[in-house]
Amino acid sequence: MKVEATAYGDRKVFSVSAFNRGIATWLQRLPTVWVEGEVTELKRHVRWQSVFFTLKDPGDGSCLGVSMPRGQFDGLRLELADGDRVHAYGRPELYAARGEFRLRALSLERFGLGDHLAALERLKTKLAAEGLFTAERKRPLPVWPRAIGLVTGNDAAAKRDVLTGIQTRFPPAHVVVAETYVQGPRAAAAIVDALRRLCEVPGLDVVVVARGGGSFEDLLPFSDERLVRAIAGCPVAVVSAVGHEQDTPLCDLAADVRASTPTAAARLVVPDLGELRERLDRARAGLERGARRSLDVHAQRLAHAHERLWRAPALLVERRASGLEQAAGRLRALSPKATLNRGYAIVRAGEAIVRSAAAVESGDPIDIEVSDGRFGARVD
């Protein structure tokens, strides 16, 4: 939109909106720049499209408002907090609606860490291409480790957290501690050597590499290529418990399991003895209930069998009597008496039964049997 002034005689007057738009248009011609300062008043919200903060010059207190698209800010994973010094790369702009001047940031780097971050990103890409971070090569942790190795600093809080957590959860656990440097230029090589020595311990099943929180520079040894490769090639499972939840050194990606804190690592490597006892108690109670149910079932079956055996002779006699009665009924139905009872008679000539009129002649004596007796007769 073209910015135009309104003429009042020989005077040209810009409206506030036109003036702001004009300044905003002019600022867009300026090149992108790097600005250094301390982060203050960091504001973000899940519903906002941008993240807002102020860059403060620690020398004279000068301030500059900064906005950055939330997706780009989150993608950098810098975990910035008030007081952090950064280099912001962006373009100056004016929010015309409110006349607010600010820097629209396109990228951010912690002050003094830009080169380190770039190098780490290159190393991360290289190792990922070799497959050191793939999920397929991750090994499960042993359920009942015979021996647990712990690589940590001397008198470090991380060491106390891991040992206390393990001893609280599972007092019989056997822990082999290898104390070493965990900070400074000699730390990476020292940790690799401690890891190698631990893996020579007979019966070792898992190793915990632990260090408490610290600055980015403090945690740099745990992103050293030598240590990352040593963890990836370790013959036993490795748990990385370095820094806090927001810290992600490269050793976390190469380890078989990442623990958010050293205390969480203790919960991962050993079972809880109290929970095991509760599970055993529940299993014992379940076995007892199962045995009682089995005994009850067998007792019921035995009682039923006893009842059947006790009733078997009577049932057999009853069945046999019923069979005899049925046979007697059939015999009675087939008996000649039954036929005689229906009004028929048996005629005999001597001992032979007369079955035809031709079998006798007139005057022959015959014997007639009816249902209630016999009598004689003569053929007419």
Beta-ladder partners of 7: 12
* pLDDT, position 380: 81
* pLDDT, position 2: 65
Alpha carbon distance 77, 43 (integer Å): 16
Mean pLDDT, range 163-190, rounded to an integer = 91
Question: What pTM value is reported for the model?
Answer: 0.51
Mean pLDDT, range 258-262, rounded to an integer = 90
User: Per residue in 34-88, pLDDT tens?
Assistant: 999 888 888 888 888 999 999 988 778 789 999 999 988 888 888 787 778 889 9
Q: What percent of the chain has pLDDT over 70?
A: 97
Domains contained in the chain, CATH given: 6-112 (2.40.50.140), 117-274 (3.40.50.10550), 337-378 (no CATH)
Helices in 36-113 by DSSP H: which ranges?
Answer: 70-76
Mean pLDDT, range 242-246, rounded to an integer = 79
Residue type, 75: G
Q: What is the mean pLDDT of the chain?
A: 86
Confidence of residue 128 (pLDDT cuts 50, 70, 90): very high
- Top pLDDT among 345 and 216 is at 345
Least confident of 59-63, 173-177, 342-346: 342-346
Residue type, 235: P
* pLDDT, position 66: 94
- Which two structure tokens, joined as six digits, stand for 132? 């050191």
Mean pLDDT, range 285-292, rounded to an integer = 91
- Top pLDDT among 315 and 180 is at 180
* pLDDT, position 126: 93
- Which two structure tokens, joined as six digits, stand for 296? 């009850």
CB-based contacts of 364: which residues, under 8 Å, 6+ apart?
349, 378, 379
Confidence of residue 270 (pLDDT cuts 50, 70, 90): very high
* pLDDT, position 115: 58
* pLDDT, position 62: 87
* pLDDT, position 1: 59
Mean pLDDT, range 305-314, rounded to an integer = 83
CB-based contacts of 168: which residues, under 8 Å, 6+ apart?
266
Confidence of residue 317 (pLDDT cuts 50, 70, 90): confident
Full DSSP string of 248-304:
--HHHHHSSEE-SSHHHHHHHHS--HHHHHHHHHHHHHHHHHHHHHHHHHHHHHHHH
Q: What percent of the chain has pLDDT over 90?
A: 38
- Top pLDDT among 27 and 191 is at 191
Tally of CA atoms within 13 A in the half-sphere of 31 that contains its CB = 2
Residue 306 has pLDDT above 70, yes or no: yes
Beta-ladder partners of 112: none
Alpha carbon distance 22, 104 (integer Å): 18
- Top pLDDT among 240 and 62 is at 240
Distances (CA, A) of 322 to 316, 333, 334: 10, 16, 18
User: Per residue in 290-300, pLDDT tens?
Assistant: 999 999 999 89
Least confident of 59-63, 70-74, 131-135, 330-334: 330-334
Alpha carbon distance 45, 230 (integer Å): 41
CB-based contacts of 348: which residues, under 8 Å, 6+ apart?
354, 366, 367, 368, 369
Least confident of 90-94, 171-175, 353-357: 353-357
Q: What is the DSSP letter of 234?
A: -
* Rg from Cα positions in the chain: 52
**362 — phi, psi (to 5°)?**
-60, 130
Residue 114 has pLDDT above 60, yes or no: no
- Top pLDDT among 345 and 103 is at 103
- The answer to whether the CB of 53 falls within 8 A of the CB of 40 is yes
Range 345-354 burial, b when 16+ CB lie within 10 A, else e: eebeeeeeeb
* pLDDT, position 229: 95
* Strand pairing class (85-95; 373-378): unpaired
